[in-house]
Amino acid sequence: MSPAASPQRATALPSPDLLHLEHQLGSEERERLRAITEHLQSEVRHQSVEWWNREELARDLLPALADLGLGRLAESGGSRLFQNLVHAQIARADLSLSALLGIHNELIVGTLEAFGSEEQKQTWLPGLKELRQLGAFCLTEPEHGSDIAGGLATTATRDADGWVLNGSKRWIGLGTVADLALVWARDTADDLIKCFAVDTSLPGYAATKIEHKMGLRIMQNADIELTDLRLPADALLPGAASFQAANGLLKDSRAWVGWQAVGAQQSILDIVRDYALERIQFGRPLASFQLVQQVIAEVAGNLAASSGMMAQVTRVQDADELAMMQAALAKSTATRLARQSASQARDALGGNGLLSHYGIAKVMADIEAIHTYEGSYHINSLIVARALTGVSAFVS
């Protein structure tokens, strides 16, 4: 019996936008979101699987994404909710490309727009916004991840000719393919952490791809070595002359990961519901069995909880009142719920759930990455608890 012939199947299934967040958009934004969603579902969702399997950057998919304005979301004229729902739809189609485009918009274009000089903006932003050029945000180091604010070891030394950078970076997205690297380094003169615009073709910049990742396999992460890398004096981003600049960026970036988790959960609901309707066992669709229905209902509940939370976070952002505690709470909670849903849905697909082309194994592996990056789950939990109790668990 085909799914269409099943008497148990409704003629029109609900959208994964379970709380109708899209209805809060104006008609023009709804139409734009619909067009983006249709492209992502028809031209990215299934096509990304082979790129993911090969651990290759899906360059062929980028021009069409640029045509949709996904390299320049902040200047799209859309509301913050529209931009966040776009991020969710990218994640629904593929979390690797969501990571690429989210970091691109939030941390590359966003950093240059907020803290770059006019010359830096004119040099880099046109190519970046059209995705003809790519950027890398170089903060994390081999020995410093969660403690990066106090432990950052990469140095920047001023001399008569400009700056000299030395150090190592790790887990840097697009580090091997980026045209521009935004490198955070500690000024040896005043001990402040500052940001530098680095042309990756310069001598002294070397990047090595990190192989064999279990998740976000399309995103090319890298180890980077900076060896006596010489920069002109104007390579320093004038607005990013202390780590305080990075804190604001990371706060908004953590909230963005919450929207990634919403999109991932929409994908999980798509996958488990479609499979349950199409897969026949004991002469009946899996969707007719109570255990499978329970999984679908719990996946939907986690999705609805995450969506409602992130919608309120967006309202707080619109009021310019978002605190790091709220961003950490949103990121840690939404990714935790996504992880739970992925595990349940993977089990519901049985042995087929182990195969990447059925979708759920790919999503499940990718969620492991977003559960860890932008502050690991446990570090974000400690940030929340510190804010609520006034007691820090971090050792200074």
What pLDDT shows up at residue 241?
85
Report H helices in 132-243: 148-151
- 338 contacts 264 by C-beta, under 8 angstroms: yes
What pLDDT shows up at residue 144?
85
What pLDDT shows up at residue 396?
53
Report domain extents, the chain.
21-129, 135-242, 244-389
Q: Is the domain covering 244-389 a CATH 1.10.3720.10 domain?
A: no
| Top CATH class, 135-242 | mainly beta
Contacts with 295 (C-beta within 8 Å, 6 or more apart), sequence order: 272, 344, 345, 347, 348
**Looking at domain 21-129, what is its CATH homologous superfamily?**
Acyl-CoA dehydrogenase/oxidase, N-terminal domain (1.10.540.10)
CA angle 276, 279, 283 (to 5 degrees): 115
Task: Provide the residue type at 134 as one letter.
Answer: L
pTM > 0.75: yes or no: yes
- The SS3 of residue 273 is helix
What pLDDT shows up at residue 247?
81
Q: Are strands 155-159 and 205-209 parallel, antiparallel or unpaired?
A: unpaired
Report how far residue 210's alpha carbon sits from residue 140's, in angstroms, rounded to the nearest whole number. Answer: 14
CA angle 70, 72, 76 (to 5 degrees): 95
What pLDDT shows up at residue 394?
82
What pLDDT shows up at residue 11?
62
Could you identify the residue written with the tokens 């002109």? 232
Q: What is the pLDDT along the chain (396 residues), one digit of tens a residue?
A: 334 444 455 567 899 999 999 999 999 999 999 999 999 999 999 999 999 999 999 999 999 999 999 999 988 778 999 999 999 999 999 999 999 999 999 999 999 999 999 999 999 999 999 999 999 999 999 998 778 778 899 999 999 999 999 999 999 999 999 999 999 999 999 999 999 999 999 999 999 999 999 999 999 999 999 999 999 999 999 999 888 887 878 888 899 999 999 999 999 999 999 999 999 999 999 999 999 999 999 999 999 999 999 999 999 999 999 999 999 999 999 999 999 999 999 999 999 999 999 999 999 999 999 999 988 999 999 999 999 999 999 875
What pLDDT shows up at residue 243?
85
